[in-house]
Amino acid sequence: MPDGSKHDPGAATLLRDVFGFDAFRPGQQDIVEAVTRGDNVLAIMPTGGGKSLCFQLPALLRDGVTVVISPLIALMRDQVRGLREAGVVAGALTSGNTPEETDAVWDQLSDGTLKLLYLAPERLANTGTQRMLSQAGISLIAVDEAHCVSQWGHDFRPDYLRIGELRRSLGVPLAAFTATADAETQEEIVQRLFEGEPPQRFLHGFDRPNLHLAFAPKDGPRAQILRFADARRGQSGIVYCGTRAKTESLAKALSDEKHLACHYHGGMEADDRRIVETRFQQEDGLIVVATVAFGMGVDKPDIRWVAHADLPKSIEAYYQEIGRAGRDGAPAETLTLYGADDIRLRRSQIDEGLAPPDRRAADHGRLNALLGLAEAQECRRKTLLGYFGEHEVTCGLCDLCDSPPAVFDGTEAVRKALSAALRTGESFGAGHLIDILTGNATDKVKARQHDALPTFGVGKDLNRLAWQGVFRQMMGHDLMRPDAERHGALVMTEAARPILRGEAQITLRRDSLNRAATDRRPAVRAMVSDEDAPLLSALKAKRRALAEAARVPAYVIFPDRTLIEMVEARPDSLDAMARISGVGAKKLERYGAAFLSVLTSGAEQDMHPTRRKLAGQGAGNLYDQLLEAQAGLARGADGTEKPLSCSAGLLAKVAQTRPGDDAALERLLGDRRMERFGTAFLDVLHGAD
């Protein structure tokens, strides 16, 4: 078994020839080496940071079969398709398999050719599966989305708890991967998957530098989402909604505006959900309006934007959901809408849940972190990554860096609001308190004699919209919380007391109080220049045609990032095409000529198929030089002899093996060809050394 050392040429060769990359992404190489060595590993990497390569590449370097535990069928089938396109023997045993697909996986297991076997965690409950794995030559277990083992996480999968037992029974190393795991979840993973034995931990940053982050207070949220989508027409996107009904109505609104859109939620029939999943994987430019049920199975790398029509439930959920965008590394955008109603809903969900008190307190803390991000007054990336313990942050890619918000000393306004709440027994919501502050003598105000309070009318300097912004920011700073036992009435928290007593001040954002400033739309980020856009569109059209013919998602052919690099580099030969990131040997052979014809305006390369297989390798250039030398000697040195030549396959063998002396070359060429071409060929071979 390879030792996985840094100088292992196998890893570099496989990285280039199978996966089409010249170098590892930051953090990948150390993880690949540890997994290849057989160390137990826990790796926390950002979504889109290349987690799958960190177990797929070691699987090819190690003897035996790597079993991959993955949470959703769509995700497994997706990775298997991508591996097969790259020439790797991989398979999945899922409930969605046809009998033929299942038989093929069993055959490959039996004949020893299978390298990666994907399984859903639920399959581990089957004793037949356990028996099969014990006999299948498993040498490594890889666990994707390892945070699913956390019983308090929103993605908890009970069957993930069986994985630790499987590791022990097979006696093989385990590598666990996730993009979202705070310290508490990491400890759960160690206890449940590694049974308390500390694995090697790799924490490689949470930053997704290609994602633009933006938040906006709700102000006609449907119109806000429609404007955001319209500015990105034709790009694949996801809109997350808090309710099933909203997914359906918003998808219809998008469709009415001529967008390609559909909805997805857990109340749909399984077949209907699968149709949406398949459409999203295979169609360019489709928008899926979904609840969080449309989650971990989304492995489409060219999602260009994610919008939240409602506030997510926690900062971890937010991070994971925006992480669906831009997994190919190309620019992607996010927009999250939020309002006071969202905050009240999320608080009440926590308070009315069945979790023990310490868990509820932790959940309020996670929501507070998200609200702090929503109401941030400086760089959102700095705020977000600070929550995950990263403080050396460079941004320039969020709405607050684009346009720093105006702020003001909100201490007096906050004290007035707190006073109004206290003088009314903390028994009312924001609407009634705003009526009191603005001097609006409604029937409800008069019936309770709240128009006689000292706070009645003290807030006339701000209009109703501005006060709504103040209350929302107060909830965002966790100065007030809705009390579920008082039907959502706002009550003061301990954090507010120093402000009320005049011992602390607070700064608020002014733009949140101004309707004209609530829709801080980020500029649409172009993937390529205007002049290159037609070429990118042509490459996408070629990709779509090839994908439809092969019945695979478009990005399985090439992701957007690879097409963008083609546009920027303009390769004019297959050898140059092979240097594009993401173009491995198998894909170059299969698709290179088709994309090259688009890039060179239809000019066909007259290249022998054998030579095409050498494209991108040093042997390709050697082949060309040998062919040129042969052409000059086809009729002998004086041009009068009987024509003689080497077959394309023989020339390729000479180029690949590079015989260094007469005897070695003669063994390949034979007497007659050695006499005709030997000296010239050796000159070429020695010149290449």
- Give the per-residue SS3 of 285-330: CCEEEECCCCCCCCCCCCCCEEEECCCCCCHHHHHHHHCCCCCCCC
For residue 587, give the CATH number of its domain.
1.10.150.80
Answer whether residue 586 is part of any domain.
yes
Question: For 162-175, how does the pLDDT look when each residue is reduced to its tens digit (9 = 90+)?
Answer: 999 899 989 999 99
pLDDT bracket for residue 516 (50, 70, 90)? very low
Show which of 174, 203, 232 is a domain's final residue: 203
Residue 435 clears pLDDT 90, i.e. is over it: yes
Show which of 556, 571, 605 is a domain's final residue: 605
Tell me how many domains the chain contains.
5
Mean per-residue pLDDT, 24-41: 91
Tokens 């709700």, located at residue:
218
CA 426, CA 435: separation in Å to the nearest integer?
Answer: 15
Residue 150 clears pLDDT 80, i.e. is over it: yes
HEC string of 568-601 equals: HHCCCCHHHHCCCCCCCHHHHHHHHHHHHHHHCC
Per cent of the chain over pLDDT 90 is: 32
pLDDT of residue 30: 93
Angle at 311 between CA 309 and CA 317, to 5 degrees: 110
| Residue 352 and residue 294 share a domain | yes
Residue 60 clears pLDDT 60, i.e. is over it: yes
pLDDT bracket for residue 604 (50, 70, 90)? very low
**Coil, helix or strand at residue 514:** coil
259 vs 487 pLDDT, higher one: 259
| Residue 184 and residue 56 share a domain | yes
Residue 617 clears pLDDT 80, i.e. is over it: no
Answer whether residue 526 is part of any domain.
no
Tokens 């997350």, located at residue:
240
**Alpha-carbon dihedral of residues 23, 25, 28, 32, nearest 10 degrees?**
-20
pLDDT of residue 2: 37
| Residue 186 and residue 74 share a domain | yes
Q: What is the mean pLDDT of the chain?
A: 85
Mean per-residue pLDDT, 651-661: 85
Dihedrals phi, psi of 232, to nearest 5 degrees: -120, 35
For residue 467, give the CATH number of its domain.
1.10.10.10
483 vs 557 pLDDT, higher one: 557
For residue 312, give the CATH number of its domain.
3.40.50.300
pLDDT of residue 353: 75
pLDDT of residue 211: 92
Q: With CA atoms as reference, report the closest residue to 234 among 526, 35, 644, 517.
A: 526
Q: Report the half-sphere exposure of 408 (CA within 13 A, side-chain side).
A: 12
| Residue 631 and residue 555 share a domain | no
| Residue 293 and residue 224 share a domain | yes
Domain that holds residue 577: 533-605
| Residue 215 and residue 190 share a domain | no
Answer whether residue 592 is part of any domain.
yes
Helices marked H in 477-614 — which ranges?
A: 497-500, 533-550, 554-557, 560-569, 574-577, 585-599, 609-613
Residue 363 clears pLDDT 90, i.e. is over it: no
Highest mean pLDDT among 52-66, 125-139, 168-182, 525-539: 52-66
pLDDT bracket for residue 5 (50, 70, 90)? very low
Answer whether residue 294 is part of any domain.
yes
| Residue 370 and residue 466 share a domain | no
Helix, strand, coil percentages, rounded to 5, for the chain = 50, 10, 40
Answer whether residue 525 is part of any domain.
no
Mean per-residue pLDDT, 181-206: 86
Residue 32 clears pLDDT 90, i.e. is over it: yes
Say whether pTM exceeds 0.75: no
CA 369, CA 357: separation in Å to the nearest integer?
Answer: 19
Per cent of the chain over pLDDT 70 is: 91
| Residue 627 and residue 557 share a domain | no
Helix axes 464-476, 411-423, angle to 10 degrees: 90
pLDDT of residue 526: 62
pLDDT bracket for residue 247 (50, 70, 90)? very high
pLDDT bracket for residue 689 (50, 70, 90)? low
39 vs 488 pLDDT, higher one: 39
Answer whether residue 656 is part of any domain.
yes
The identity of residue 684, as a single letter, is: V
pLDDT bracket for residue 625 (50, 70, 90)? confident
Least confident among 207-221, 617-631, 669-683: 617-631
pLDDT of residue 308: 97
pLDDT of residue 127: 79
Angle at 280 between CA 279 and CA 285, to 5 degrees: 105
Would you tell me how many other CB atoms lie within 10 Å of the CB of residue 234?
Answer: 11
Mean per-residue pLDDT, 635-653: 82
pLDDT bracket for residue 512 (50, 70, 90)? low
Question: For 459-482, how does the pLDDT look when each residue is reduced to its tens digit (9 = 90+)?
Answer: 999 998 889 889 988 888 889 887
Show which of 572, 605, 638 is a domain's final residue: 605
pLDDT bracket for residue 8 (50, 70, 90)? very low
| Residue 655 and residue 626 share a domain | yes
Answer whether residue 307 is part of any domain.
yes
Answer whether residue 237 is part of any domain.
yes
| Residue 508 and residue 397 share a domain | no
pLDDT of residue 605: 53
| Residue 155 and residue 238 share a domain | no
pLDDT of residue 524: 57
176 vs 378 pLDDT, higher one: 176
| Residue 158 and residue 21 share a domain | yes
